[in-house]
Amino acid sequence: MNQIKYKNAVVDGVSIAYREVGVPSKPTILLLHGYPSSSHQYRKVLNHLGSEFHLIAPDYPGFGNSDFPSPDIYEYTFDNIAHTMQSFIKLKGLDSYAIMMQDYGAPIGFRIATANPEKVTAIITQNGNAYEEGMGEAWSGIKEFWKNRNESTEKALLPAFTLEGLKWQYTHGTRNPENINPDTWHLDYLRMSRPNAHKVNLDLWYDYQSNLKLYPKWQQYLRDNQPPTLVVWGKNDEYFPESGAEAFKKDIKKIDYNIYNTGHFALEENGDEIISKIRDFMNAL
């Protein structure tokens, strides 16, 4: 088994931490993490597929072990984070890669894919949404925040940043919460406790509405380019329920479609099955 390397690269003045394993001559998968996590969420994929593929998992600015520039210096929007990730891809010299996306990884990944369709060999989506019908009940409070951002609507969202709120992200919808490693939400809580972390994450939640406006563009990309697509989805996700997975079938003619009886972070409870699917899917390209 190849040794995972824990690296850093300065991208547009920001130190981006990333995990890399495998040799670049093998098919590359760019692993894009979700909220409130980091490249840590892909540790099982990196451990089990590193000898077969070239895997790169970056942490976004403000997440994981990357720099956390002040919001006065760095604009925390999906457009800007995607721009940073595109600069990272260029710095790494990646000319051909599959994108695995989860949660925030989808709006970042689809911005990358629509800008570079000729470079993207495949899409792997694990609860990475691109359809309005995939927006679940958990968005209700955030939608009120979108309508009117003020002290009251911000305060209503703050419980999500507590230790219990972060634990919910990982354990809700799982078959057995005891299957989920508590290090996950404890690591996220440490990062969420840093100065400016609440503001930055509220800014990103507010900016998430920009993604919905781009959904038609991303769907057109799927229709026009027909990237090989693997869906591995936790059906009990309150943010992105199974309807979001089902919607991909409208635009992708050939889709490897897999639904699991788990929650938002499906890799935590169904890692073995999902990793096996990724292996078979990538080997069939």
Please give the positions annotated as active site.
264
Q: Which of 271, 264, 267, 269 is nearest to 237 (CA)?
A: 264
CA distance 239 to 263: 10
* Number of Cβ atoms within 10 Å of the Cβ of 56: 25
* Number of Cβ atoms within 10 Å of the Cβ of 78: 20
Which structure tokens are listed for 177?
């919460």
Contacts of 107 (CB under 8 A, 6+ apart): 78, 82, 208, 211, 214
CB hemisphere CA count around 152 (13 angstroms): 3
For residue 125, report the phi and psi dihedrals to the nearest 5 degrees: -115, 120
